[in-house]
Structure 1
């Protein structure tokens, strides 16, 4: 597939070379990492042309919380799979003793889910305190 032709006014036809001090270049590298620009040249063009630059901000204080939430999500998914398997076995057997055993297994899994939900609610309340500060 061929590229679309760029209008002659929109072509980047002229080259400008600039020199920067090392500290300012490092600062621009940080800006590049936090912006929506892909290259240093694109960042410089955006600054020179006074275009809008979208800055990405990462809150390091919530890093540990995000990792914990991801872990809890994995555990809840695993518990859900266990419940589905036990339910499948429950419906596929005709032995009453086996059904009671499967029902007790499901009850244990539901207790685990309850504990994880309590952890989630605790974490969400901590996050909301952080975000809703005045």
Structure 2
């Protein structure tokens, strides 16, 4: 079965251009393939020859530590919230005033932990905003 004809025949690659390049130039083309949006060395060369843009993607590793800490804080806040819900359930099911006082102090302690985590979170966000929102 034959292949269907292209709807845009003017965009088909019908001419072959062969060239030799130095090792340094070839390594640059390989870099464009590995870090950019080109799929092959030939595509990178075609884009350079035709003047098209090549997008190179950079990874900023300086954010790995703060982002990891943000993920940890999120998990800690979730765990504290679960604990608060459990203590609240025990509080509502308790009949004695001594037990209710104990559970309320327990909830107060959990809310203090939330306050500490939120303060830490705000410090991280403040540092990130200084880095990324500078003029």
Equivalent-residue separation in structure 1 for 2:120 and 2:114 (angstroms): 10
- Partner of 1:53: helix, strand, or coil? coil
Find out whether 1:99 has 2:110 as its counterpart: no
Displacement of 1:118 after TM fit?
A: 0.9
116-125 vs 9-18, which moves further: 9-18
SS in 1 for 2:29: helix
Q: 1:118 to 1:49 in 2, by over 3 A?
A: same
With structure 1 as the length reference, what TM-score do the two structures score?
0.69
Partner of 1:108: 109
What is the Cα deviation at residue 71 of structure 1?
A: 2.1
Shift of 1:126: 1.6
Stretches of structure 1 lacking an aligned partner (at least 5 in a row): none
Q: 2: distance between equivalents of 1:95 and 1:5?
A: 81
Over 3 Å counting, the alpha-carbon distance change for 1:6 and 1:94 in structure 2 is farther
The two structures, once aligned, show a CA RMSD in angstroms of 3.0
Deviation at 1:119, TM superposition (A): 1.0
Is contact 2:32-2:38 (8 Å) kept? no
In 1: Cα distance, 2:95 partner to 2:6 partner: 74
Matches within 5 A, 1:1-134: 6-9=6-9, 10-12=11-13, 16-91=17-92, 93-96=93-96, 97-134=98-135
Q: Give the drift of 1:110.
A: 1.2
Matches of 2:134 and 2:53 in 1, distance apart? 29
TM-superposed CA distance for 1:11, in Å, is 4.3
| Structure-2 separation of matches of 1:125 and 1:31 | 35
The 1-side partners of 2:124 and 2:56 are apart by: 27
Shift of 1:114: 0.8
Question: Normalising by the residue count of structure 2, what TM-score does the alignment of the two structures yield?
Answer: 0.69
2:130 and 2:41 mapped to 1: Cα distance?
38
